[in-house]
Amino acid sequence: MRKTKAIFVSGFLVTGLILTGAGCFQTAEAPVTQPTTTTPKQSSPTTTTNITTTSTSTTVMDDLESNAEVGTFAAATNDANLGSSLRAAGPFTVFAPSNAAFDKVPTSTIEKMLGVTNRQNLINTITFHVVPGKYNLKNLKDGQALKTVNGEDLQVRISGDNITINGAVLAATSEKNVVNGVYYVIDKVLFPKNFSNTKKK
């Protein structure tokens, strides 16, 4: 979505974000509680047929920036000053909405993430797509709850070859392993409960 992407690229002046530790995202005004990072239990692989690609030299953020399919999400992540966090040691699992997913988001909702006074909505949304730890497809189980950096859970549903994350369809062929984790492309932007529906002036 060219219009929305352009808004994200140029519409923010976000400050006050710091990185403390490998898996922690924190803001000066409204810290996000770091969930306890646990090593995911190995489970039997699902029946999903997937194509896995691996990079041993690039980080999650580097790869997101070079992937045109998720350019809007990468731009929004940088606008929230979270890019450096996704270049840290991690590991992280990121569910990145495609550009087409952002096309579906109403303009009124996008506006609630614009500007310094609305930056917490943007940060809350981006961190809701990031899970501490590395979860490959074989680690995902039906009914599993994944604690995000935001502090809220994502629900995994698996039915045959179909995998959804909070209702967003995960493209199994998009699994991309990088030096500090793994990311997938999903077809929907996920909004947490702590997303404010009131646009601040």
- In Å, how far are 47, 119, 127, 138, 167 from 189, measured between CA atoms? 26, 17, 12, 23, 10
* Count: domains in the chain: 1
CB neighbours (10 Å) of residue 103?
15
The domain in which residue 62 lies consists of 2-28+53-135+174-186
Q: Whole-model pTM? A: 0.74
Residue 170's pLDDT band, with cuts at 50, 70 and 90, is very high
Is 147's pLDDT higher than 70? yes
In a domain, 73, yes or no: yes
In a domain, 125, yes or no: yes
Give the CATH number of the domain where residue 105 resides: 2.30.180.10
So what's the pLDDT on residue 198? 53
What are the contacts of 164-171 at 24+ separation with CB within 8 A?
165/95, 165/190, 166/190, 168/95, 168/97, 168/101, 170/95
In a domain, 145, yes or no: no
Over range 153-180, report the average pLDDT: 93
Q: What is the pLDDT of residues 7-60, one digit of tens each?
A: 454 343 333 332 333 344 543 333 333 434 444 443 333 333 344 455 556 899
Lookup: tokens for 153: 């859970």
